[in-house]
Structure 1
Amino acid sequence: MKLGTIMLDGRPTVIARVTDDTAVAVPYTWMEDLIEAGSAGLDSAAEAIVKAKAGTLPVIDLAGADWMAPNPKPSKILGCAVNNNNLNSKAYKPMTAPMFFIKGRSALTGHNKTIDILKDHGQSIPEPEPVVIFGKRAKNVAPEDALDYVFGYTLTNDVTASGVKFSQDAIALKQTPDLVKPHHTAWREKFGDDDTYLYFIYHAKSKGADTFASMGPWITTKDEVKDPNKLKVRGYIDGECYTEDSTANYFFPVERVISEATKWFTMELGDCIHTGTASKGTEKHPRGNVGTYLGLYDGKLTDVEVEGLGRLSNRVNLEK
């Protein structure tokens, strides 16, 4: 089943897909209400689909629909950083655990909306990836139990403004040797005993700006996703495929990502995790997503396609 949220007659409305081009309203204002209702929520959506096909409930034409993110009100959105073997092949040392950043719900936007790039964001890149939507509260979950906490999956364009990240939100502090501890430099190459630089990068502006968490259009319920670690992922810019990858290329599988997240954060019903970007390039775009600069495509479409989950489209909007 595929579920989404649109603005209909000025109100948020949860919908269920009937056909590729049509949907039916489900009696919930917010997606979290449907998720919290459990099997009763899914049953009501399934019943609405049957009635729409039978002509006893009105069908919504999705042409020109005002899409919101499928769940517009998560308490938090986590992203799993650099979770791709193509990227980690360049790491000085392999990661020992998934790394996370956080986006606020103000970063959310929906299908067919703009992704807004400010001048100060500088060089910005797309990151196509699946998203886990939690179906219940999760804390200290073992990897083997992780998928039991999933309600469904959607897709995101997890935009990264590397320009602002490295120009405004990164700093190297030259410390005195007595302040530098082994854990400060264990993760990087150290250039002699006088290398006492500590490096800091902050991700709020570069990862969590408005519209930098485009999601949707649909949540696909987990019963329709056989294995989240075997999904083809593609990214498009102005109609050209710049990355063709798979979640099989993740450094950490989805179950480990979920488990690690719940070690540090209590994941609430409706919360989201971006599980890892697609990165592998194509013949015309050999650098993949890291060589695809949204600033060159003002007014053009950037799309994310994930096998079984659908296709998310947004238009690039550069600050003039």
Structure 2
Amino acid sequence: MKLLRYGPRGQEKPGILDQDGAIRALPADLGDIAGDLLSPEGLAKIAALDVTTLPKVDGAPRIGPCVTRTGKFICIGLNYSDHAAESNMALPAEPVVFGKWTSAIQGPNDDVEIPRGSEKTDWEVELGVVIGTPGRNIAKADALSHVAGYCVVHDVSERAFQLERGGTWDKGKGCDTFGPIGPWLVTADEVGDPQKLGLWLEVDGHRYQDGTTANMIFDVATIVSYLSDFCTLEAGDIISTGTPKGVGLGQKPPVYLRAGQTVRLGIEGLGEQAQTMVAAA
């Protein structure tokens, strides 16, 4: 299933994509795409619906973040060996963990703001993992059963804030609008093996990133299990799993985003995003 949320910012409603690519409204009594609805039982209720009988959504509404009420937005750094090399950083012995503030979350096609004082705003296409079944100290063998589904994440990053302002990555990762997610939450049963997905990103039509999740250093199951040793993973938590080579920092010379540019990115089977870069007020 491809689940989504549509409508004006802050007024999104839950929906599902039908076989023809049309948005259908989910029944209001199911609630939003969050919490218990992401559990196996909640997803089973949606799967039991006859999608063809649900009302079609007219026009082309704004697509919002594909999940809501996210408690934690956890990111994994340097998780592709080619990206670590272009960043001139050693391969990690354990997953590199940092966070984005949940205020960074926005719809997949909303404008991305270049923060005031930014000189090095960069791009990163990433596979997002959305937790459905809460858990702590999860065994690797059981990890994927805790995943509700997957989505495209744009891990927008301000490199000077990240690397030159005291060494705490979060301040360069969690700026407002720096976490577009969606367009859809594709349920785990439809995705199958998350380590066989192509992912790409273009700036103004120039393709900079073109990789595959097969090249992750730490796969999704390892990441979910690892993180659960340090905190309880809860329904609606998002894990962004790292980016392949081709970021702006890795170009020679480096290339960074400017207001007016358009970024397009996507992951095989999970849809595409497109954002216009704008200067923050």
Q: TM-score, with normalisation over the residues of structure 1?
A: 0.79
Are 1:81 and 2:83 matched, yes or no?
A: no
Cα RMSD (Å): 2.5
Q: 1:302 is aligned with what amino acid?
A: V
Q: Distance in 2 between matches of 1:37 and 1:263?
A: 21
Q: 1:131 aligns with which of 117, 128, 131?
A: 128
Q: How does 1:197-216 map to 2 (within 5 A)?
A: 201-216=167-182
Are 1:152 and 2:149 matched, yes or no?
A: yes
The structure that has the greater radius of gyration is 1
Change (3 A) 1:278 1:61: farther
Are 1:278 and 2:250 matched, yes or no?
A: no
Structure 1 residue 120: deviation in Å?
1.6
Q: Distance in 1 between matches of 2:133 and 2:222?
A: 18
Q: Contact 1:103/1:204 (CA < 8 Å) preserved in 2?
A: yes
Q: 1:306 aligns with which of 267, 270, 280?
A: 267
Are 1:22 and 2:18 matched, yes or no?
A: no
Q: Contact 2:150/2:270 (CA < 8 Å) preserved in 1?
A: yes
Structure 1 residue 276: deviation in Å?
1.1
Are 1:316 and 2:271 matched, yes or no?
A: no
Structure 1 residue 215: deviation in Å?
0.5
Change (3 A) 1:149 1:288: farther
% of aligned pairs identical? Answer: 28
Q: How does 1:139-178 map to 2 (within 5 A)?
A: 139-167=136-164, 169-170=165-166
Are 1:236 and 2:202 matched, yes or no?
A: yes
Q: Contact 1:21/1:61 (CA < 8 Å) preserved in 2?
A: no
Query: 1:263-291 deviations in whole A, cap 9, x for unaligned?
Result: 1121101101001112248xxx9946994
Q: 1:218 aligns with which of 184, 187, 190?
A: 184
Change (3 A) 1:303 1:93: closer
Are 1:108 and 2:71 matched, yes or no?
A: no
Q: Contact 1:122/1:164 (CA < 8 Å) preserved in 2?
A: no
Change (3 A) 1:290 1:144: farther
Q: Which residue of 2 aligns with 1:61?
A: 58
Q: Distance in 2 between matches of 1:24 and 1:248?
A: 33
Q: Distance in 1 between matches of 2:224 and 2:2?
A: 22
Q: Distance in 1 between matches of 2:74 and 2:57?
A: 32
Q: How does 1:32-43 map to 2 (within 5 A)?
A: 32-33=34-35, 35-36=37-38, 38-43=40-45
Q: Contact 1:228/1:254 (CA < 8 Å) preserved in 2?
A: yes
Change (3 A) 1:117 1:111: same
Q: Contact 2:120/2:160 (CA < 8 Å) preserved in 1?
A: yes
Q: Secondary structure at the match of 1:165?
A: helix
Q: Contact 1:134/1:152 (CA < 8 Å) preserved in 2?
A: yes
Q: Distance in 1 between matches of 2:172 and 2:114?
A: 11
Structure 1 residue 226: deviation in Å?
1.9
Change (3 A) 1:108 1:47: same
Count of residue correspondences: 278
Change (3 A) 1:210 1:251: same
Q: TM-score, with normalisation over the residues of structure 2?
A: 0.90
Worse-superposed segment, 93-102 or 2-11? 2-11
Structure 1 residue 121: deviation in Å?
2.5
Q: Which structure 2 segments of 5+ residues have no match?
A: none
Q: Contact 2:161/2:169 (CA < 8 Å) preserved in 1?
A: no
